[in-house]
Amino acid sequence: MAESIYDVLVVGAGCAGSAAAMYAGRFGLKVAMIGEMPGGTITQTHVVENYPGFETITGLELGERLLNHAKAYGVEVKMEKVVDAAKRQDLLFSITTDSKEVYVSRTLIAATGAEWKKLGAPGEKEYTNKGVHYCALCDGSFYKNKVIAVIGSGDSAAKESQLLAEYGSHVYVFVRGDALHGEPINNARVAVNKKITVFTNVQVKEIVGGGEKKKVTHLKLSKSCAPSGSKPTDLFPVDAVFVLIGHSAVSAWTKELGVSLNAKGEIAIDRLSRTNVSGLFAAGDVTDTEFKQAITGAAEGVSAAYSAYSYLQKGKK
């Protein structure tokens, strides 16, 4: 039986992957997209207000629209996890998934995005899903009228604290540096929200829990901070902790391919989403692009599809 070979395999089903797959499909190529999360991590964002063409749209709807657009061009979508990747002697790429399926392609586009960084504080691992969380949209609703802590200083902390304030009785944001560094519009919204308090120049040294349900009860801080209506304390009472300190590129699966990674583990690409490996392209949060947004990831995905198409066309000459 002849081996089934794709023109393009896209690994990752988020904004970058869906855009890459859609454009590759428009080019008339045989395309498959392999991903663990339909629509990618954007689907876990409450509201998106910076994607051109949509003044306001939920992350779930945006992710679904991009995914469905790819399907409309005949892209095969496989919800599986890649566990092994190799470039064969015949220069074809071979991808093995957790379902033990093997996919072979002439080109490969890496769009696996990034995963949440861990704080690394004592108690974090012990109380994960017992008060410690990383996705406000996923888990915020469990803490209605509860005291919620957010650890982080970037735009994710600024945005997600607003969503959590819709659920909790109060949200306390703990910033390691001297200021919250979200987008100006999100910083302004945090500043006027009476249910959000920001503490700066403070570190969470330990996440403390206990009780019958063995859940989070306190944060041990590097300095005393005052809960609303109470005296300052370095053992700060909370019901939940959301760690929002950034992301790490999901690139480990590419190492056997010889792709160049920077010190952060991000895939190095040029302006056309090409890597150092012939036939291998990358897009989105997994790359070394400095400014990472849904729209920039989608644009890089389109560039990757174009580069893959050009690579294939040259091979036909």
Which residue numbers are catalytic? 135, 138-139
Q: Are 280 and 257 in contact (CB under 8 A)?
A: yes
Whose structure tokens read 């690394």?
120
Question: What whole-number distance in Å separates Cα of residue 164 and Cα of residue 9?
Answer: 38
- Residues 210 and 127: their CA atoms lie apart, in Å, by 9
Cβ partners under 8 Å of residue 248, min gap 6: 114, 115, 116, 117, 264, 265
SS3 call for 211: coil
The type of residue at 66 is L
Question: Cβ distance 162 to 242 under 8 Å?
Answer: no
Instruction: Determine how β-strand 215-225 pairs with β-strand 204-210.
Output: antiparallel
Q: Which structure tokens are listed for 18?
A: 């869906």
In Å, the largest CA–CA distance within the chain is 75
